[in-house]
Structure 1
Amino acid sequence: MNALWFYVIAFILIWTFAVLFRDRLKIEIQGPLLLRRTKRMRGFIDSIASGHPGLWRWILNAGIPVAFFFMFYMLYLMVMSLQSIFVTPQASLIVPGVEIPGSPVYVPLGYGIVGLATVIVVHEFAHGILARVEGVRIKSIGLLLLAILPGAFVEPDEDDIKKVSPISKLRIYAAGSVANLILAGICFAFFFGISAYAIPAAFQADGVQIDSVVPGSPASEVLKPGLVIESINGMPTTNLTTYGMALKRIRVGEVITMDTDQGTFRLKTGRNPNNSSRAYMGIRTSNHLEVRGSVASVFGSTLPYALTYLEELFFWIFFLNFAVGTVNLLPAKPLDGGLMFEELLRYRLPERIVKPAVSYVSIFVILIIAVSIIWGTGRGLLMMF
């Protein structure tokens, strides 16, 4: 709940500041939306775009087919999710630092803020660079806040966009998500290198550590973050593999005995919010790592842990850029994927068919996302109180 209070306090402070100084700072208030436009940074974007325009076009020419692949693949996954949307929702609201029961993902607050910052900056700058490469003027650059959700935007000249060729429009529309996917790929390579080679060389697992406890879960009144689980019902849990084997033996409603580095605890399992047949404790875990003696003799017992922070950082930058980049490619306006889908249909179909087709698909996609988020996240939030 501490993270929720962080967001509540931040919301009050930011909106109070924005209302009091809206004229001095040129802040626009449009309902739940705060906007601040500026003409700065346009020169910086121009310099990047003019440096290697051919390279930018080449990257996006290769990226457009990738973007369309993810567009239709994500649409396929969404259609497939309809059969289990009220059992196992495929979409969930991800709020850094807030553990929501039933959500498949928990993003730590610090890593989440850094990761989302990279998503926003890379995405919007890519749109701006490709707009200038294609000769489209940038009217303004700015920051926005939807209630408490931050964002940024690059506002191209709409009249200029109408004048460019269809392939130029596709490059501009795809640029943001393609940039996110490229950054995701780079960060995944670093994450994989650290997790697959550096971490095993520097550390050995000696138990499973509780990273977070879901509010309102069976474990919330018994366990706490930082505990190292050594066994469950007498079965040793020396690492995540043996921990997973121990979990498979647990049944719904069973009272389990958990030995930890801080004593023995007993708790009664509940039903998994997304699968009623599976037992649920409400904890997220990772291997508890101990520096190998040979490494500690050279680097000490503290410095090697920097690898674990880098591993987490690269993972969350990868995850958030990949997740936001692919979701943004769904064929629903006003997402970039919706604009690309509309341009694709225009290539072969008349306008009288394109507009209704894009509208119907957009409503279908947004409706599924909304229902899945409301159902999945709503149930979880109710369990927290």
Structure 2
Amino acid sequence: MLSRLPKFKDVFEKRNVGVYPFIIFWKRPSARKLSGVGRGVRLLINVYAFIGIAVLVYSMFIFYNLIINFGLVEIIRKVAVGNVTQVRSPLVPVVPGVTIPFREFIYIGLGIAIGVVVHELGHALVLLHEGIKLTGWGFGVFIIFPFAFVEPAEDEFKKSRLISKLKVLSSGVLNNAILAILLAMLIIPPLASSLAGYSVVTITSTIPGSPADRAGVPTPSIILTINGTSVRDIDGLRNYLMPYVNKSVTFNMTLILPDGSIGSYLIRKLSNESLLGIYITQDVKELINAGGYYIVKDPPQLPLFRLAFWTYIVNYSLAIINAAPLIVTDGAQYINELLKKFLGEGRGGKVSNAIQIFTVALTIILLIIGLLRRV
């Protein structure tokens, strides 16, 4: 390992740099207070911290409403009437290639990295505002994903007032919620609008023996026109075909074929056939007419949209999940501190553990159901 070679070890240590397999990070030894911050800014940070408490409580409510009303209660209802096969879960785990496409994984990873950095910065800000020493803090990179970390002085945190603890524990959730809201309101809408003109309908496969199959329609192909009418989205195609459901008709469909060339196919549908027999998806693609064939590629702003979208999803999820009492989360510590304060160390700890065990068990069950429904 590079950092353990005598030649490099002193250089890394002097610069507070750590190097491990897949990880490199920079760490500041300690920090005790916010420097150069005026009274007005401190007041704003205090208001921000109290808002964080409200946001964590609300996020915890959302989580329990999700897993109990839309999870446990629905499962009991379906099982009670014998519809076990209809049981659904409001929670779905992130499994690349199963619940999400592999191509989205890089954006989810970056979204998680951004979420972790934002989350930890919230903790650091409020810790310093409350006068709780940081024994260390810093930034790093895991493989290609950035991360941040803070290390509060455990003894000082344990001795601090309850309200200070609640402020600190809530601040990370608040930061994730703020980032999710900003993305949803300011970043994603204009990006989505800019992509609207790149919508295409792709035929992914055909049903054997169907009109499209008999016409020899190749897949995957992008639909350009049907009987001269431009096709840009699934709703438009469906609305065009609806009047011909129970009629004998021939459609002239112009397609961009898998090799980029243009082809026209006559699809003859009989009156006893209600469907063309095509499976379609709506994609976002830039079509460049190169004279006789098309170059099909992703629009230049699509990666930015995907990053913004998944960062929103990840940060919204982090705000909800971290607010839930799931043993290692901020919500778990939040519940633990409150119950121990008002019920006593022993009784409060037992009630806290019971709540967390129930929450974790139900969450795991719902995640398993969610995964099985996607496999």
Q: TM-score, normalised by structure 1?
A: 0.62
Determine the C-alpha separation between the residues in 1 that align with 2:362 and 2:142.
21
Find the counterpart in structure 1 of residue 42 from structure 2.
Answer: 53
> Please, what is the CA RMSD of the aligned residues?
4.8
SS in structure 1 of the partner of residue 324 of structure 2 = coil
Q: 8 Å contact 1:123–1:180 — kept in the other structure?
A: yes
Shift of 1:160: 0.7
Q: Deviations over 1:134-191 (max 9, x none)?
A: 1111122367999999865312111111222211111100111110111111111123
Determine the C-alpha separation between the residues in 1 that align with 2:23 and 2:105.
24
Determine the C-alpha separation between the residues in 2 that align with 1:106 and 1:369.
25
Greater mean deviation of Cα atoms: 63-72 or 170-179: 63-72
Q: 8 Å contact 2:26–2:140 — kept in the other structure?
A: no
Find the counterpart in structure 2 of residue 99 from structure 1.
Answer: 97
Shift of 1:55: 1.7
**Which of 198, 201, 218 lines up with 1:208 in the alignment?**
201
**How do residues 55-74 of structure 1 correspond to structure 2 at under 5 angstroms?**
55-74=44-63
Determine the C-alpha separation between the residues in 2 that align with 1:197 and 1:28.
43
Find the counterpart in structure 2 of residue 119 from structure 1.
Answer: 115
Q: Deviations over 1:296-353 (max 9, x none)?
A: xxxxx99x94444433332222111111121111023220011112233345433333
Q: 8 Å contact 1:194–1:307 — kept in the other structure?
A: no
SS in structure 2 of the partner of residue 328 of structure 1 = helix
Identity of aligned residues (%): 23
Find the counterpart in structure 1 of residue 256 from structure 2.
Answer: 261
Q: 8 Å contact 1:119–1:324 — kept in the other structure?
A: yes
Distance 1:339 1:259, change over 3 A: farther
The structure number with the bigger radius of gyration is 2
Find the counterpart in structure 2 of residue 272 from structure 1.
Answer: none
Alignment partner of 1:350 is 2:344: yes
Q: 8 Å contact 2:52–2:170 — kept in the other structure?
A: yes
SS in structure 1 of the partner of residue 343 of structure 2 = coil
Q: 8 Å contact 1:342–1:354 — kept in the other structure?
A: yes
- AA in 1 matched with 2:97: E
Greater mean deviation of Cα atoms: 81-90 or 140-149: 140-149
- AA in 1 matched with 2:90: Q
Alignment partner of 1:332 is 2:326: yes
SS in structure 1 of the partner of residue 180 of structure 2 = helix
**Which of 365, 371, 375 lines up with 1:377 in the alignment?**
371
Shift of 1:228: 3.1
Determine the C-alpha separation between the residues in 1 that align with 2:363 and 2:101.
16
Q: TM-score, normalised by structure 2?
A: 0.64
Find the counterpart in structure 2 of residue 286 from structure 1.
Answer: 283
- AA in 2 matched with 1:153: F
Alignment partner of 1:180 is 2:173: no
- AA in 1 matched with 2:93: L
**How do residues 171-320 of structure 1 correspond to structure 2 at under 5 angstroms?**
171-195=167-191, 197-200=193-196, 203=197, 205=199, 207-209=200-202, 228=222, 238-242=232-236, 261-262=256-257, 285-288=282-285, 305-320=299-314
Q: Deviations over 1:40-62 (max 9, x none)?
A: 17559945878933222111212
Structure 2: gaps of 5 or more residues: 13-17, 77-83, 205-217, 243-252, 266-277, 289-294
SS in structure 1 of the partner of residue 149 of structure 2 = strand
Q: 8 Å contact 1:45–1:129 — kept in the other structure?
A: no
**How do residues 134-145 of structure 1 correspond to structure 2 at under 5 angstroms?**
134-141=130-137
- AA in 2 matched with 1:76: N
Determine the C-alpha separation between the residues in 2 that align with 1:283 and 1:157.
57
**Which of 342, 347, 367 lines up with 2:361 in the alignment?**
367
Q: Deviations over 1:348-381 (max 9, x none)?
A: 433333111110111111122223334543675x
- AA in 2 matched with 1:118: I
- AA in 1 matched with 2:135: K
Q: 8 Å contact 1:49–1:130 — kept in the other structure?
A: no
Find the counterpart in structure 1 of residue 90 from structure 2.
Answer: 90
Determine the C-alpha separation between the residues in 1 that align with 2:52 and 2:233.
40
